[in-house]
Structure 1
Amino acid sequence: MGEHPAFGPAEFADRLARLKARLRAAEVEAALFDEIEAMTWISGFGSSANRWRCVVIPLEAEPFFLIRALDASVCRQRSWIGDVPTFRDWEDPVPVLLSSLRARGLEEARIGLDFESYGTSIAGFAALQAALPRARFIDIGPVVAELRLIKSAAEVALLRRAAAIADEALRRAAAACVPGATQRDAARIAQSTFVELGADPYRPGPITAGRGWDFLHGHLGDDPLSEGDVVHIELTPRIHGYSARVMRCVVLGEPEPERLRAAGVLATLQDRQIAAMRPGALAGEVDAILREGVIRAGLRDSYDNITGYTLGLYGDAGPRTSDFTRILHPGANWRMEAGMVFHVYASAGGAALSESVLVTESGPELLTHLPRTLLTNRQGA
């Protein structure tokens, strides 16, 4: 069995116990997980979906990790799961899955699946049904995503480190935003800072120049920057997959009065929103502080995006760039709990800013610590 570089056996034992409690409540005898975030959280290892793979957790028998032979060695190095059945790249993994289930007496079991898993295609589900005609497949929903909402002390430690790297990388990237430089220069500096300071070698996050507010998820450009440009920088460093995030706008030259006003309004409203992020707070009410405040201030006619979402573990090869297990929007009727971590973000009037926030028993804690205003190159940001 392998050893994870950030989490010890007790961490995974706790995760497994919590997961099995949920599976018992769902009245299944085993569960199959094939989303990379779920597999990684359970086992310590996740791989791309170039070939279908899964982690199977029986309630009574030993778990196993079904994976292509090429990835088996690295799986065993990182995962606590000792049984790793394999298949060659050109082989069908389903017969190997069937053999492992049969060895555990589970070929006729009630097997839990997340019916909205991005890892299971329609054809793949049909193949499971054909291979296990006497089994019953039960929709257990996003069980692992919900369990991941409350972070352990070890997970929070990774997020704190990632947040500090986000702050420093944004400082360095912002300083590179000068006339004649390019957005690519900022991206290069941000990514090299990630690696230098101990983060995963992953893409830096959205970096783009524009002059309005709705360019936040634009494309990296190669045109030289000039006086008056605004560079939006949102950095998303990861450590062992755990990502903190921070967003600022960098103004080349003197900020326009209206942009400065917008930044001040956003910071004030978001400060109030963050202060409300306490255990028991109703998410929709937390969302309204920013959403309705921006509209009342005349910075937007409508606010059509969410104002925050879950932070935590992201898969290296998963299709989701953000975790929307919990999101802040007008109809959000769930309540905040200690141990949740969020990326809260605001944009309007040519300004944008965001923070990573941990909800604790005593209230919110900012994990990111940059000045909450526009950044300018003349400030040496």
Structure 2
Amino acid sequence: MTATKLFSGFSRQEYERRIAQVRTTMAERGGDLLLVDQIDNMAYLFGYAHSGARYQAALLPLVGSPVLIVRRSDLLAARDKSWVSEFVAYEEYDDEVEYVARAISGFAPKELLVEGDSNFLTVQRMEKLRAQLSDLKISDFSGVMWEQRLIKSPEEIGCLARASAIADAAIMSGINAVGVGKSERDPACATYATAIELGADNGRVAVFGYGSTVANMHGRLGDRTMEAGELYFIEAVPQVFGYSARIARPIALAHASEKFQHIAERLVAIQDRQIAAMVPGAVSGVVDRICREAVLKEGLKSHFPQVTGYTLGFHAVPRTSDHTRIFMPNETWKIEAGMVFHIIVYAEGIPFSETVHVTESGPRRLTQTNRELFVR
């Protein structure tokens, strides 16, 4: 039996399924050509994710073969990663938007659809395209692929499950590197080493906090020496073929005070109830309030502006998180089987978070590390 050829970790059949879904919506919108330039969506549809250093794009016709417009220095990588067979390559000194405009004209479309919410289709680039395609109708296709990506396929779940296993191993390596008298950078080194060794393919595999930075879930490493009684946290965010799992755990240095132990135990209990409520059909705002209202009622936080969860999946620059769906008290969207979320709560520098996959029978944690305040 011949093995299925993979493109950036996925089968050709997986890409064909994704393309067919997008084309269905294109037809419904009346567009016969789609310009894709958000890196996340280029990877999702075509298997090619670039660095973002220069503008690159893809053109997907309603019927026929797509074309990737890439800079020539990335052409080999694009051919290697993507299932697409047709490419337009520009040189470093070329105007890439002009190349995109000429490629669009080559399709002679009646209506061009664009990602109006793309981070890469800037106002300047859009104006240049309009000037060069003055007779072409251009319509917005914002949100379509983000919505489509909410429901993960079995192949995508496989990537997220592998990333979750890496996250579990990496965070335990980091936890075991925490200790009085050590540098706050030692756990970072251990976390990164394990994640990369086990197959993480992203450069930023974790976030750390120690000392004053534990109050900020997006803190940065310093050069302090760890002292008894203080807190440290690790949030591991490894990716496999761009798909990110996430998990956060707190660590107390040498001993944990009764206060810290109490906060940790209550956060875990409250979040466990929230996760248990994540069943298909559940309303997001209701699920959010299970956590939010209990945390505030028990005085674990005096102010709670943060989300308690958000979409997980493929991540690329410049978006480090996907907030297509978020858990806030005023949200009314419903949870569906196949969705995957990062569920997170923290107070007083003590965070707990999980990667949660919603199945037909309910939620399952893809991350499995013990839910406790570790002491090292």
TM-score interval for Structure 1 and Structure 2 normalised by the shorter chain:
over 0.9
Structure 1 letter corresponding to 2:298 = A
Once residues 173 and 164 of structure 1 are traced to their aligned partners in structure 2, the CA distance between those partners, rounded to angstroms, is: 14
For 1:5-24, list aligned pairs within 5 A. 5-24=8-27
**8 Å CA contact 2:43, 2:49 repeated in 1:** yes
Counterpart amino acid of 1:158? C
Q: Is the Cα contact below 8 Å between 1:191 and 1:201 reproduced in 2? A: no
Structure 2 partner of 1:352: 351
In structure 2, the CA distance between the partners of 1:125 and 1:375, relative to structure 1 (3 Å rule), is same
Residue number in structure 2 paired with 1:79: 82
Q: Does 1:319 align with 2:318?
A: yes
1:115 Cα offset (Å): 1.4
State the one-letter code of the partner of 1:310.
T
* Map of 1:92 onto structure 2: 95
Contact 2:8 2:82 in 1 (8 A): no
Counterpart mapping for 1:223-302 below 5 A: 223-302=224-303
The amino acid across from 1:44 in the alignment is G
Tell me how far apart the structure 2 counterparts of residues 269 and 25 of structure 1 sit (CA, whole Å).
43
Does structure 1 retain, via aligned residues, the 8 Å contact 2:8–2:47? no
Contact (CA 8 Å) 2:201, 2:241: kept in 1 or not?
yes
Matched letter for residue 248 of structure 1: R
- What is the aligned counterpart of 2:53 among 44, 50, 53? 50
| Equivalent AA in structure 1 for residue 332 of structure 2 | N
Taking the aligned partners of 1:5 and 1:36, their CA distance within structure 2 comes to: 14
Distance in 1 between the 2:349 and 2:79 partners?
49
Q: Which amino acid aligns with 2:261?
A: L
SS in 1 for 2:116: coil
1:364 to 2:367 alignment:
no
1:183 Cα offset (Å): 2.2
SS in 2 for 1:268: helix
On the 8 A contact 2:175/2:187 being kept in 1, the answer is: yes
In structure 2, C-alpha distance between the alignment counterparts of 1:212 and 1:240, rounded to whole Å: 30
C-alpha offsets along residues 26-79 of structure 1, whole Å, 9 cap, x if unaligned?
A: 221111111110100010011122211111111023211111111011101111
What displacement does 1:212 show?
A: 8.2
Other-structure match for 1:195: 196
Change over 3 Å in CA distance of 1:211–1:71 after alignment to 2:
closer
Q: Deviations over 1:268-299 (max 9, x none)?
A: 11001000111111000010011111001111
CA distance in 2 between counterparts of 1:127 and 1:321 reads 28
Match of 1:342 in 2: 341
Partner of 1:309: 310
Query: How much has 1:201 moved relative to structure 2?
Result: 4.5
Corresponding pairs, count: 372
Q: Distance in 1 between matches of 2:184 and 2:318?
A: 25
Q: Which amino acid is 2:294 matched to?
A: G
Whole-angstrom CA distance in 2 between matches of 1:211 and 1:103: 57
Runs of 4+ in 1 over 4 A off after TM superposition: none
Aligned 8 A contact 1:187 1:204 in 2: no
> TM-score normalized by structure 2?
0.96
Q: Return the alpha-carbon distance in structure 2 between the equivalents of residues 201 and 298 of structure 1.
A: 37
Partner in structure 2 of residue 114 of structure 1: 115
Q: Distance in 2 between matches of 1:125 and 1:13?
A: 29
Rounded Cα–Cα distance in structure 1 between residues aligned with 2:287 and 2:162: 26
Q: How much does 1:181 deviate?
A: 1.3
> For residues 373 and 211 of structure 1, do their structure 2 counterparts lie closer, same or farther at Cα, with a shift above 3 Å needed?
farther
Task: Report the alpha carbon displacement of residue 99 of structure 1 after superposing the two structures with TM.
Answer: 2.7
Please say if residues 215 and 348 of structure 2, whose CA atoms lie closer than 8 Å, have aligned partners that are also in contact.
no
Residue aligned with 2:35, SS? strand
Name structure 2 gaps, 5 residues minimum. none
Q: How big is the shift at 1:254?
A: 1.4
1:207–1:370 distance in 2 versus 1, CA, 3 Å: same
Deviation (angstroms), 1:195 = 1.5
Could you say what the CA RMSD is over the residues aligned between the two structures, in angstroms?
Answer: 1.4
Amino acid at match of 1:355: E
Residue 60 (structure 1) aligned with residue 60 (structure 2):
no
Q: TM-score, normalised by structure 1?
A: 0.95
Contact 1:262 1:350 in 2 (8 A): no
Which residue matches 2:330?
331
**1:213 positional shift:** 5.6
Tell whether the 8 Å contact from 2:191 to 2:206 is kept in structure 1 after alignment: no
Matches within 5 A, 1:153-192: 153-192=154-193
What residue identity is the alignment partner of 1:203?
R
From the superposition, tell whether residues 204 and 49 of structure 1 become closer, same or farther in structure 2 (CA, over 3 Å): closer
Q: Give the fraction of aligned pairs with identical amino acids, expressed as a percent.
A: 35
Task: Give the secondary-structure state (helix, strand or coil) at the position aligned to 1:261.
Answer: helix
Per-residue deviation at 1:5? 4.6
* Deviation string, structure 1 residues 289-328 (Cα, Å, up to 9, x no partner): 111110011111121010001111112xx01111111110
* Inter-partner Cα distance in structure 1 for 2:202 and 2:366: 21
User: Unpaired runs of 5+ in structure 1?
Assistant: none
Secondary structure, in 3 states, of the residue corresponding to 2:215? Answer: coil
> 2:104 aligns to what?
101
- Name the SS of the counterpart of 1:156 in structure 2: helix
Q: Which moved further from structure 2: 122-131 or 196-205?
A: 196-205
Note if contact 1:338-1:359 (Cα within 8 Å) is conserved in structure 2: yes
